[in-house]
Structure 1
Amino acid sequence: MKTIKVLPNTDDVNAELRLLIQQSYDNCTDKLFTIGLSGGSLINSLIKTLPTLSCVDWTRWRLFFCDERIVPFDDPESTFGCYWRAFENVTPLKKDQFIVINPDLDGELAARDYTEKIRSTVKIDEDLALPRFNLILLGMGPDGHTASLFPGHKLLEQQISWVGYIGDSPKPPPKRVTLTYPVINNSDSIIFVCTGLSKAEILKKIFVDGDDYPAGRVQPDRGELIWLLDKAAGSLLPKEIIGGV
Structure 2
Amino acid sequence: MTTTVPKIYAFHEFSEVAEAVADYVVYAQNNALSKELVDRKMSVSSLNVNSEVEFKDVQRSVSIKSVSGVSRESSKKPKREVRFKIALSGGSLIHVLHKGLLSRTDVMWGKWDIYFADERLVPFDSEHSNFGLAKREILDQIDTEAYGKPNVFHINESLIKDPQECADDYEKILIKGFAGRDSVKLPMFDLFLLGCAPDGHIASLFPNFQENLREKLAWVVPVTGAPSGPTERISLTIPVICHSHRLAFVVEGSTKAPVLKTIMERPEKGLPSSIVNEGAAGRVSWFVDDEALTDVSVIKKDYKFRSNK
The TM-score normalised by the length of structure 2 is: 0.73
Deviation at 1:221, TM superposition (A): 3.8
Indicate the residue corresponding to 1:101 in structure 2: 155
Q: Does 1:218 find its partner at 2:300?
A: no
Q: Output one character per residue of 1:80-113: Cα deviation in whole Å (capped at 9) or x when no partner.
A: 1111122244214688722010122212111111
CA 1:56–1:92 in structure 2 vs 1: closer, same or farther (change >3 Å)? same
Write out aligned runs for 1:72-91 (5 A). 72-91=123-142
Q: Output one character per residue of 1:100-142: Cα deviation in whole Å (capped at 9) or x when no partner.
A: 1012221211111101111111367988600000111100010
Indicate the residue corresponding to 2:192 in structure 1: 136
Q: Helix, strand or coil: the match of 1:237?
A: coil
Task: Give 1:164's match in structure 2, choosing from 202, 221, 225.
Answer: 221
User: Could you tell me how far apart the structure 1 residues matched to 2:12 and 2:104 are?
Assistant: 22
User: Could you tell me how far apart the structure 2 residues matched to 1:82 and 1:95 are?
Assistant: 17
Q: Does 1:3 find its partner at 2:57?
A: no
What one-letter code is carried by the residue in structure 2 that aligns with 1:101? I
Q: Does 1:71 find its partner at 2:156?
A: no
Is the 1:190–1:223 contact (alpha carbons within 8 Å) kept by the matching residues of 2?
no
Indicate the residue corresponding to 1:24 in structure 2: 28
User: Could you tell me how far apart the structure 1 residues matched to 2:281 and 2:184 are?
Assistant: 12
What one-letter code is carried by the residue in structure 1 that aligns with 2:233? R
User: Could you tell me how far apart the structure 1 residues matched to 2:180 and 2:292 are?
Assistant: 35
The TM-score normalised by the length of structure 1 is: 0.91
Q: Does 1:35 find its partner at 2:86?
A: yes
Q: Output one character per residue of 1:142-167: Cα deviation in whole Å (capped at 9) or x when no partner.
A: 01110000011111111110001011
Q: Output one character per residue of 1:46-68: Cα deviation in whole Å (capped at 9) or x when no partner.
A: 11112233333322111111000
Runs of 4+ aligned residues of structure 1 deviating over 6 Å after TM superposition are 124-128
Gaps of 5+ in 1: none
Deviation at 1:209, TM superposition (A): 2.6
Task: Give 2:290's match in structure 1, choosing from 207, 231, 234.
Answer: 231
CA RMSD of aligned residues (A): 2.3
Task: Give 1:146's match in structure 2, choosing from 202, 205, 212.
Answer: 202
Indicate the residue corresponding to 1:192 in structure 2: 249
User: Could you tell me how far apart the structure 2 residues matched to 1:90 and 1:107 are?
Assistant: 30
Aligned residue pairs, count: 243
Deviation at 1:230, TM superposition (A): 0.3
User: Could you tell me how far apart the structure 2 residues matched to 1:5 and 1:125 are?
Assistant: 36
User: Could you tell me how far apart the structure 2 residues matched to 1:90 and 1:230 are?
Assistant: 26
Gaps of 5+ in 2: 34-80, 303-309
User: Could you tell me how far apart the structure 1 residues matched to 2:288 and 2:281 are?
Assistant: 23
Highest Rg: 1 or 2? Answer: 2
Is the 1:5–1:227 contact (alpha carbons within 8 Å) kept by the matching residues of 2?
yes
Is the 1:132–1:188 contact (alpha carbons within 8 Å) kept by the matching residues of 2?
yes
